[in-house]
Amino acid sequence: MPHTPDALSIAPSDHPTMPSLLIHSPAGVVLKAAPVRRAARRLKALGFADVAIDESALAKHQRFAGDDDTRLAALHRVAQLAPGVALATRGGYGLSRLLDRIDWPVMARSVEQGTAWVGYSDVTALHLGALAHKAAGPDKVGEGVRAGFWAGPMACDDFGRDDSPEGGDDVTQEIFVEAMTGLLEAVGFRTEAAFDGLEVQGRLWGGNLAVVQALLGTPHFPKVKGGILYLEDVNEHPYRIERTLLQLHQAGVLAQQKAVVLGAFTAYKKSPLDRGYTLKAAIEHLRSVCPVPILTGLPFGHVPTKVCLPVGRRAQLVVQGRDALVLW
């Protein structure tokens, strides 16, 4: 894969069937280089055919991984190189600044050439923008196709941690490899017994709840009807989660879906004002006003163990007892 002298390249692995992988930083600043370099070594050890770090992945400008022009240029550069996998270093904040300027046909061509764009959290903005601007690829693909946009792990926290011999959760990494080799066709999880027998089909989409809300009413919010909407968030108190979900409900977004699947909502602080109000209470209230099935338990979000989800793919949600399965 072409790269500048400033980029880190790791020699090809012994697994020629594995895709190439390029690590880039489209959003928040990466404070230290060590996690990125550790992630590159780990990804090479997992068998990726060629692993490189984009030349501006470690750029710094305020809280961003380079100024807006730098990050925009990096996105377009990665798209033009069309690696097998374009993996974000981290989220944070920054992609919303770029949405009005992204060359969506360039992004679409990278998907046509086989690139899988992977990330979550703030990367949700890129996923939803791609859907809205018809750059995410077809909603129906043949077996073994990895190209498109994937909600999945990121380099620093999932492959570059210094508190784990593997750099991150081994289950997350195994699922990622399976997804990036075109073998992942479904993910399962445990949910409430109340949804036994549920079976719906629709386009799979969503991501970070705060980012989804932030794009509502903009040209970058996809108009998905009859979809399966998945959501997660971090550092948001249950009342803020409820308020955001209610906005999506009152805006008519939830009613247009076949189902809503909630992932992890983590790292919030309880308040003495809660007086028994919990995330469960917030979800129960939403269910009382929204007729669409709202499931919990999806292993996705700001948690060590997370699945990979193909954004925009036609999927099926099936529940038997408490066992839920999302297939595509």
Distance (Å, rounded) from C-alpha 62 to C-alpha 115? 30
Catalytic residue among 20, 55, 133, 232: 232
Nearest-Å Rg of the Cα atoms of the chain is: 19
Catalytic residue among 55, 110, 121, 236: 121
> Residue 207 is encoded by which pair of tokens?
């991501």
Helix (H, G, I), strand (E, B) or coil at 226: coil
Residues 6+ apart with CB under 8 A from 275: none
Q: Is 232 annotated as catalytic? A: yes
- CA neighbours closer than 13 Å in the CB half-sphere of residue 74: 29
> Residue 226 is encoded by which pair of tokens?
């009859």
Q: Is 121 annotated as catalytic? A: yes
Question: What is the number of other CB atoms lying within 10 angstroms of the CB of residue 148?
Answer: 23
Question: In angstroms, how far is the first alpha carbon of the chain from the final one?
Answer: 30
Q: Is 302 annotated as catalytic? A: yes
The alpha helices in the chain, defined as continuous H runs, are 34-45, 68-81, 104-112, 124-132, 155-159, 170-180, 209-215, 238-250, 279-289
Catalytic residues: 121, 232, 302
